[in-house]
Structure 1
């Protein structure tokens, strides 16, 4: 996993966050789902960098790309 995605059991319930901040990967994905563009997200969250947003999207892609075994 990228150094931009961090896990800390003492923070945000152990959910994946961006660089140790209290901004969860899920928060970023929800903003995209709500129709915000990267530029808008970066404007609203000045501590984030474009690479953080890319890392969140890569993380989500890996999470949903898993094999499904049919019995």
Structure 2
């Protein structure tokens, strides 16, 4: 998924944290809701500005970041 068009980083918004489409909802917010057991449908009901594609973009962003952060050098 090409999350780059959906995940934005603006220095003056939410402390420069990655947000969804310039909204004040951060990637971390969405990931924490999912981790707490909320379903995508529950998140979308609580935050009508979000779409299922936005939630998938948050997951793709986190997966990409994790992939780059945890590369173990060969021994």
Which bin holds the TM-score, normalised by the shorter protein? over 0.9
Could you tell me the TM-score, scaled by structure 2's length?
Answer: 0.88
Could you tell me the TM-score, scaled by structure 1's length?
Answer: 0.93
Can you give the 5+ residue segments of structure 2 that lack an aligned partner in the other structure?
none
- State the 4+ residue runs in structure 1 displaced beyond 3 angstroms: none
Can you give the 5+ residue segments of structure 1 that lack an aligned partner in the other structure?
none
In the alignment, the residues of structure 2 paired with residue 39 and residue 4 of structure 1 have an alpha-carbon distance, to the nearest angstrom, of: 19
Aligned length: 71
Give 2:15's aligned residue: 13
Cα deviation, residue 69, structure 1: 1.8
**Structure of greater relative contact order (alpha carbons < 8 Å, 6+ residues apart):** 2
Structure 1 vs Structure 2 CA RMSD? 1.2
